[in-house]
Chain A
């Protein structure tokens, strides 16, 4: 009789012990879940801020390109106009119309003055990395396009990294929530085991222990992933 009572008592103690173990596991997993939530929240925020910075940089670069390329386009057009007037003057001179030729040359001179001033204002002629290497050569437009997109690309890359980080922590958080649900099942089974008869108690204890073991294993796998 005493041996039977002792066995019952041992099972009860085991169930209480497992219940406490599941409670502690739940507390730890809840902490890990909250930590994963915080990390995913921070990564999400960083991702959004970087997306905002990238969009701002694209906007700024758009305005700047508009200004730089507009200056270059005006400069090129006036250079062509000046050249055209020079040729016209030469042709008029050849045909004997000296007054018109002089006027054409003066207008070409005025346009050349504008072109020279525009060169001083243009990024493509003042920045050594993009300025033409020879007087009649074109500025380095490919290099300009590459350089202008570099910062926006860097920010987009950062944004993508942070978005991946957010997904990773979010998935971890989801796994911890699933583990918490399993731990709740284990606690429910241990609760039933405490109220049930000895045979049923053993069954509930065994199933509860299996669920508890799976939960702990899943939590550890998630933690180490």
Chain B
């Protein structure tokens, strides 16, 4: 009894021989078993392991692609914010210049109607020499009527929108698109994880087939192969679905 429990290499070789003999005597009794079945299961397990390794590589590849897209999205977000900041700065700078012109123009108009010859002469010179230069500085808010609000104020928001529309570099940036692409890769990566779990499950059933005998072995083998095929189909489905989604988006 004790001899039967000892393993090879534990110092009781004679007793371990008796275990081996017992196992070899049991060989012919196996149903659905034997060396051929064990070899088949071993090959199936090797195929599952190779498929798992490939799925792991692809999953890692998708993670890298998602990381690249996120990085691009972040860079573009920073560039976009830089452009927006510059456009706001320019819009308010122009508004300041336009304001200077509009106030000077109101001043000149008041001098012109003051009835004082000195002030009128001063106004005439200002209208001739100062106002045109101020108007030039305040362009296009001083010259384009679309930037004038009915209440007399300046439509700085509209000017900002126009500056944005004119900026070709800004229009070329699409951080949201880059983030959406990253999320698509990440979703595909999640799909691969489910596939990897299915492959691990098939490995479980094939392992079970390896250690059992008879009908249990056949059941384990069949279920293992089916789960493996399902896992493969799942991964292929994920790959095709996301390739289609990317193609449609492109």
CB distance from B158 to the nearest CB of A (A): 15
A118: interface (CB < 8 Å)? yes
Residues of A close to B96: CB separation below 8 A: 67, 70
Residues of B close to A113: CB separation below 8 A: 106-107, 109-110
Asked if B4 and A109 make an inter-chain contact with CB atoms under 8 angstroms apart, the answer reads no
Asked if B1 and A63 make an inter-chain contact with CB atoms under 8 angstroms apart, the answer reads no
Residues of A close to B179: CB separation below 8 A: 45
Q: How far is the CA of A26 from the CA of B107 in the complex (A)?
A: 81
Question: Which size bracket describes the interface of A in this complex?
Answer: 35 or more
Residue ID in chain B nearest A194 by CB atoms: B7
Asked if A27 and B197 make an inter-chain contact with CB atoms under 8 angstroms apart, the answer reads yes
Residues of B close to A84: CB separation below 8 A: none
Asked if B152 and A120 make an inter-chain contact with CB atoms under 8 angstroms apart, the answer reads yes
B250: interface (CB < 8 Å)? no
Residues of A close to B203: CB separation below 8 A: 20, 23-24
Residue ID in chain B nearest A25 by CB atoms: B200
Residues of B close to A20: CB separation below 8 A: 203-204, 207-208
Residues of B close to A195: CB separation below 8 A: 7
Asked if A34 and B193 make an inter-chain contact with CB atoms under 8 angstroms apart, the answer reads yes
- For window 2-44 of B, CB contacts with A under 8 Å fall at 2-7, 10, 18-19, 22-23
Q: How far is the CA of A34 from the CA of B175 in the complex (A)?
A: 24
Q: Which of B71-79, B129-137, B163-171, B238-246 contacts A (4 or more CB under 8 A)?
A: B71-79
Question: Given that A1-B18, A52-B77 are known contacts, is A42 also in contact with B183, CB under 8 Å in the complex?
Answer: yes
Residues of B close to A117: CB separation below 8 A: 102-103, 105-106, 152
Residues of A close to B2: CB separation below 8 A: 4
Interface 0/1 of A134-178, CB less than 8 Å to B: 000000000000000000000000000000000000000000000
CB distance from B234 to the nearest CB of A (A): 13
CB distance from A120 to the nearest CB of B (A): 3
B114: interface (CB < 8 Å)? yes
* Residue among B106, B116, B179, B196 having the largest count of chain A Cβ atoms under 10 Å: B106
Q: How far is the CA of A111 from the CA of B111 in the complex (A)?
A: 10
CB distance from A117 to the nearest CB of B (A): 4
Q: How far is the CA of A139 from the CA of B114 in the complex (A)?
A: 30
Asked if A197 and B7 make an inter-chain contact with CB atoms under 8 angstroms apart, the answer reads yes
Question: Which size bracket describes the interface of B in this complex?
Answer: 35 or more
Question: Given that A53-B81, A114-B103 are known contacts, is A63 also in contact with B88, CB under 8 Å in the complex?
Answer: yes
Residues of A close to B186: CB separation below 8 A: 38, 41-42
Asked if A52 and B78 make an inter-chain contact with CB atoms under 8 angstroms apart, the answer reads yes
Question: Given that A53-B81, A110-B114 are known contacts, is A7 also in contact with B119, CB under 8 Å in the complex?
Answer: no
Residue ID in chain A nearest B59 by CB atoms: A34
The B interface is mostly helix, strand or loop, or mixed, namely helix
- For window 141-194 of B, CB contacts with A under 8 Å fall at 149, 151-154, 156, 175, 179, 182-183, 186, 189-190, 193-194
Asked if A23 and B106 make an inter-chain contact with CB atoms under 8 angstroms apart, the answer reads no
B92: interface (CB < 8 Å)? yes
Residues of A close to B197: CB separation below 8 A: 24, 27-28, 31
Q: How far is the CA of A195 from the CA of B8 in the complex (A)?
A: 9
Residue ID in chain A nearest B207 by CB atoms: A20
B201: interface (CB < 8 Å)? yes
Residues of A close to B1: CB separation below 8 A: 1, 3-4
A49: interface (CB < 8 Å)? yes
- For window 81-118 of B, CB contacts with A under 8 Å fall at 81, 84-85, 88-89, 92, 95-96, 99, 102-103, 105-107, 109-111, 114, 116
Residues of A close to B196: CB separation below 8 A: 27, 30-31
The 30 listed contacts between A and B (C-beta, < 8 Å) are A1-B4, A4-B1, A5-B4, A5-B22, A8-B19, A13-B211, A16-B210, A17-B208, A20-B207, A24-B204, A31-B194, A35-B190, A38-B186, A45-B70, A45-B73, A52-B81, A106-B114, A109-B114, A110-B114, A111-B107, A113-B106, A113-B107, A113-B109, A114-B107, A117-B105, A120-B151, A121-B99, A121-B103, A195-B7, A197-B10
